[in-house]
């Protein structure tokens, strides 16, 4: 069974749950930016929840199915059309051989996830089928999809069926204004007191450059770092440090002007001070932010971060129970 790409969309790629374990070698985890939406889509079609799906960014593709299939679309709010007829999101549907699946514009959210029963069966590279475009490996030939590509699909499970729907209360919203909880970082003390205050008080807007590597924000008050004697091996700007590892979700502010939150395709280290880290429970929210969407940063401590992670995991477990046949 396979799927032909008629129109590729803006930045459509194959992603699964990711490839952890290689960050120390400079290879990021990649995988779906919105992990909850990925898992929901797969559970709806009877796949393993980390199976490979089509991640659609801002402008979704048009796909022709060359055999009968069961699909589900989650994530961003947009029209989903099978052979021109609009169908519900967060519900599994049958697609017949020869029919096309197309999409409208994303009214809210920035990424939609199309799961197919059996999963997208591209080769496994370092334990994952996810695309890492900077490294040109994984996914479909290590790149975003192009017109004419033909995607192989694995064998559907016996539980795959049309009509399976996600409970409304377990479907994540994709608002245009979000609050991102932040654990202040190793270098937060390097900010001037006024900047340490305005960083959390200001409203920041997503810049057009936001992508899978990092989300850039602008519109808040420029941050000032305390002056210091330039360390050996560090850049001259006060925002520079001697190279250090970057945690997933860390926030750097080159030159103090525009915070950048590193996401799933980010490099593993560099020479910018990390003023904080977005907690794991909020990383999916970033994935669904379009350019010009607004964010406020909220300072939390480790206990609050761990409590939020527990709530996220509990919600995911409730989803598994609700969608397991």
pTM: 0.95
Residue 293: which domain range? Answer: 177-313
pLDDT tens per residue across span 168-185: 999 999 999 999 999 998
* Of the residues 139, 172, 205, the one at which a domain ends: 172
Say what the pLDDT of residue 325 is. 81
Q: Are residues 185 and 248 in the same domain?
A: yes
Partner residues linked to 178 by β-bridges: 295
What's the average model confidence in pLDDT over 7-31?
96
Q: Determine, yes or no, domain membership for 295.
A: yes
Give the end of a domain, one of 146, 172, 198. 172
Q: Is residue 107 domain-shared with residue 35, that is, in the same domain? A: yes
Question: pLDDT at position 43, please?
Answer: 98
pLDDT in tens, 97-134: 999 999 999 999 999 999 999 999 999 999 999 999 99
Q: What is the C-alpha separation between 185 and 262, in angstroms, rounded?
A: 14
State pLDDT tens for residues 23-73: 999 999 999 999 999 999 999 999 999 999 999 999 999 999 999 999 999
Q: Residues 197, 242: one domain? A: yes
Q: How many domains does the chain have?
A: 2
Cα separation, 325 vs 320, whole angstroms: 10
Q: What percent of the chain has pLDDT over 90?
A: 90
Determine contact, residues 138/125, Cβ cutoff 8 Å.
yes
Phi and psi at 299, nearest 5°, equal -75, 130
pLDDT at residue 228 is higher than 90: no
Measure the CA angle with vertex 268, ends 53 and 250; round to 5°.
85
Q: From CA 66, how far away is CA 88, in angstroms rounded?
A: 22
Query: Are 217 and 260 within one domain?
Result: yes
Same domain for 200 and 143? no
């Amino acid at each position: 069974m396979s799927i032909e790409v008629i129109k590729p969309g803006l930045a459509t790629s194959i992603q699964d749950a990711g490839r952890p374990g290689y960050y120390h070698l400079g290879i990021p985890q990649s995988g779906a930016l919105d992990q909850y939406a990925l898992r929901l889509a797969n559970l709806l079609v009877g796949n393993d929840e980390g199976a490979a799906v089509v991640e659609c960014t801002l402008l979704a593709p048009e796909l022709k199915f060359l055999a009968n299939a069961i699909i589900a679309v989650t994530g961003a709010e947009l029209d989903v059309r099978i052979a021109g007829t609009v169908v519900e999101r967060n519900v599994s549907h049958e697609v017949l051989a020869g029919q096309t699946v197309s999409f409208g514009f994303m009214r809210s959210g920035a990424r939609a996830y199309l799961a197919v029963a059996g999963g997208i069966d591209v080769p496994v590279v370092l334990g994952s089928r996810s695309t890492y475009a900077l490294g040109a490996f994984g996914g479909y030939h290590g790149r975003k999809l192009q017109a004419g590509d033909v995607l192989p699909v694995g064998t559907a499970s016996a539980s795959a069926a049309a009509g399976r729907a996600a409970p409304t209360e377990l479907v994540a919203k994709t608002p245009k204004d979000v609050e991102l909880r932040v654990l202040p970082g190793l270098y937060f003390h390097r900010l001037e007191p006024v900047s340490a205050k305005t960083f959390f008080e200001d409203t920041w807007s997503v810049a057009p450059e936001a992508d899978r590597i990092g989300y850039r924000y602008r519109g808040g008050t420029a941050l000032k770092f305390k002056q210091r004697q330039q360390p050996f091996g560090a850049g001259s700007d006060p925002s520079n440090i001697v190279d250090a590892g970057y945690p997933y979700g860390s926030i750097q502010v080159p030159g103090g002007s525009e915070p950048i939150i590193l996401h799933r395709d980010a490099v593993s280290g560099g020479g910018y001070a990390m003023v904080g880290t977005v907690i794991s429970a909020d990383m999916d929210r970033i994935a669904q932010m379009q350019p010009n969407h607004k964010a406020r940063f909220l300072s939390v401590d480790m206990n609050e971060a761990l409590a939020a992670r527990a709530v996220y995991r509990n919600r995911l477990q409730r989803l598994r129970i609700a969608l397991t046949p």
